[in-house]
């Protein structure tokens, strides 16, 4: 069924005509049929939206950092660009890790998984666990990087984001080189447009 050309649910006249064409008695009112159609149309649109390839949704202008960058520089980039994480790439643009706000919080001695309450306790001077040593991105970045391919559908990407409890997936080519990034917000926006 091609839902791309359907602008609105069928009219009552359309439903009456469809019931007559059935040439059989059905114990369904026109209003019931209209509701069933609207619900089915919504499900079909959601299913079709989930089949959209990642390449149609991803952002191609990706902010990255190298593994030898200073952690303070990475924190500044995240803050200035108002993003919660970014891919770490090598000189050939291969994705080798991810640096996120959670990783940066390790600068304050916070372990990954700490709550806002834990951060407040740290600020108030309570003891906190020691962080990994080093001041470079490579010292705290998340490994291995979890990535997606451009031909994957957004339903698969959404499943990975949910299962791994992450907010973004770098999109890589067959050689592991960065070509884009897809976020939860990108997927929600796409499904919202299709509904």
Q: How many residues does the chain have?
A: 195
DSSP H or E segment with residue 84 = none
Please tell me the distance from the alpha carbon of residue 191 to that of residue 51, in angstroms, as a whole number: 10
What angle do the packed helices 12-22 and 30-50 form, to 10 degrees? 100
The tokens describing 175, both together, are 């050689």
- pLDDT for the residue numbered 7: 47
- pLDDT for the residue numbered 12: 67
179 close to 56: Cβ distance less than 8 angstroms: no
- pLDDT for the residue numbered 1: 41
- pLDDT for the residue numbered 38: 76
- pLDDT for the residue numbered 77: 95
pTM over 0.85: no
User: How do residues 144-176 score in pLDDT, each as one tens digit?
Assistant: 999 999 999 898 898 999 999 899 999 999 999
Instruction: Say which residues have a Cβ less than 8 Å from residue 32's Cβ, sequence separation at least 6.
Output: none
44 close to 74: Cβ distance less than 8 angstroms: no
Locate the DSSP E strands across the chain.
65-66, 85-89, 95-100, 148-149, 168-172, 178-183
User: How do residues 85-105 score in pLDDT, each as one tens digit?
Assistant: 999 999 999 999 999 988 887
Query: Consecutive sets of 10 residues in the chain, 195 residues long: mean pLDDT of each?
Result: 47 68 72 76 66 91 96 92 94 96 72 52 53 77 93 90 92 96 89 64
Q: Omega into 144 within 30° of 0, i.e. cis?
A: yes
Instruction: Say which residues have a Cβ less than 8 Å from residue 43's Cβ, sequence separation at least 6.
Output: none
């Amino acid at each position: 069924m091609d839902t791309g050309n359907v602008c609105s649910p069928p009219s009552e006249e359309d439903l009456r005509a469809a019931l007559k064409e059935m040439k059989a008695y059905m114990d369904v009112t026109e209003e019931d049929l209209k509701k069933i159609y609207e619900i089915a149309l919504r499900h079909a649109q959601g299913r079709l939206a989930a089949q959209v390839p990642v390449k149609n949704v991803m952002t191609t202008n990706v902010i990255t950092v190298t593994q030898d960058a200073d952690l303070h520089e990475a924190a500044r980039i995240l803050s200035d660009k108002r993003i919660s994480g970014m891919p770490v790439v090598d000189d050939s643009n291969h994705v080798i890790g991810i640096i996120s706000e959670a990783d940066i919080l390790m600068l304050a001695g916070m372990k990954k998984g700490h709550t806002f309450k834990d951060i407040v306790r740290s600020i108030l001077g309570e003891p906190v666990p020691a962080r990994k040593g080093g001041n470079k991105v490579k010292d705290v970045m998340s490994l291995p990087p979890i990535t997606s391919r451009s031909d994957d559908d957004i339903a698969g990407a959404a499943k990975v984001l949910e299962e791994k409890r992450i907010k973004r997936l770098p999109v890589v080519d067959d050689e592991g080189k960065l070509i884009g990034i897809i976020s939860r917000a990108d997927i929600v926006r796409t499904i919202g447009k299709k509904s």
